Amino acid sequence: MRRLLPVLPSAGTPFALQGADQLRFACNGCGDCCRRLRVALTHRDLERLTRALQAPAASLVAWLAPNEVDPNEERASFVLLPGGPRLMVLAQDSGACRLLDHEARCRVYEARPLDCRLYPFVFERDSRQRATRLSTFDPAGCGERREEFESLAELDRADAARWSELEEYQRLIAGWNRFARHRARLRHRAQGESEFLAFIGLPR
């Protein structure tokens, strides 16, 4: 996993970025993304959520099997659990994110996961990790046009933070998975979700 660092175009040409017009995208608040998409979490995402909601980590997460997601996209984020490898995602109720309220608003917007903060923006970077292109991920029908541009600097910082936190989380997973394989070789009891949450520093 490459760590993405925030390197921006020069201050005098903030919109030299290819696809910079996408910065006029504005969410229309329909909540469709909170119903259609599953949000993979890192330990840092979950820390922010548990602190904001004063809720136990286990109540906020679900665990997806490899056949429920694209395993090539999330390979390093699968946690070895008794039922097999699982991906930790934000839990849903009745086909929508558990944090979505009856007015299609996020109940914990300021503490939402970084993937949610970046949606629907996608950065492409060159070999020096400079942002070279901006696109939007599947925004058809869910956005509006704004007069002003979204802050490129803020998006770039959020993107860098997201990749940095993911890299840290995947190092923790790698350590857990090595331990799980060692326990399996010794025929010890496999540890489950609550033990994993404790391992990454979260109350169960």
Instruction: Please report whether residue 193 resides in a domain.
Output: no
Burial of 16-27, coded b for 16+ CB within 10 Å and e otherwise, reads ebebbebbebee
Residue type, 95: G
Residue 199 falls inside a structural domain: no
pLDDT at 18 over 50: yes
Domain that holds residue 119: 20-187
Checking if the pLDDT of 9 tops 60, the result is no
Token reading at 167: 């890299």
Cα–Cα dist 110/93, whole Å: 21
Confidence of residue 130 (pLDDT cuts 50, 70, 90): confident
The answer to whether 98 touches 92, Cβ cutoff 8 Å, is yes
Report the percent of the chain where pLDDT is more than 70: 90
Would you list the DSSP string of 141-190? TTEEE-SSPP-HHHHHHHHHHHHHHHHHHHHHHHHHHHHHHHHHHTTPPP
Q: Give the pLDDT band of residue 8 (cuts 50, 70, 90).
A: very low
- Give a yes or no: residue 29 inside a domain: yes
* 133 SS3 class: strand
Q: Is residue 14 part of a domain?
A: no
Within-domain flag for 24: yes
Q: Pick the residue with more confidence: 123 or 143?
A: 123
- Whether pLDDT at 182 is above 70: yes
Which pTM was predicted? 0.86
Quickly count: other Cβ atoms within 10 Å of residue 83's Cβ: 11
What band does 13 get if pLDDT is binned at 50, 70 and 90? very low
Q: Which residue has the tokens 């400079």?
A: 130
The answer to the question of residue 108 being in a domain is yes
Q: Number of structural domains, the chain?
A: 1
Q: What is the pLDDT of residue 11?
A: 42
Quote the pLDDT of residue 178.
97
pLDDT-based confidence at 131, cuts 50/70/90? confident
Does residue 11 fall inside a structural domain? no
Q: What are the angstrom distances between the C-alpha of 174 and each of 86, 91, 92, 97, 178?
A: 13, 23, 26, 28, 6
Q: Is the pLDDT of residue 15 over 90?
A: no
Q: Is 162 left (phi over 0), alpha (psi -120 to 50) or beta?
A: alpha
Buried b (16+ CB within 10 A) or exposed e, 149-166: eeebeebbebbbbbbbbb
Q: Give the dihedral of Cα atoms 189, 195, 196, 201; nearest 10 deg.
A: -150
Residue 14: pLDDT band (50, 70, 90) is: very low
Residue 6 belongs to a domain: no
CB 71 within 8 A of CB 97: no
Q: What confidence category does residue 7 fall into, taking pLDDT thresholds of 50, 70 and 90?
A: very low
**Structure tokens belonging to residue 158:** 């959020």
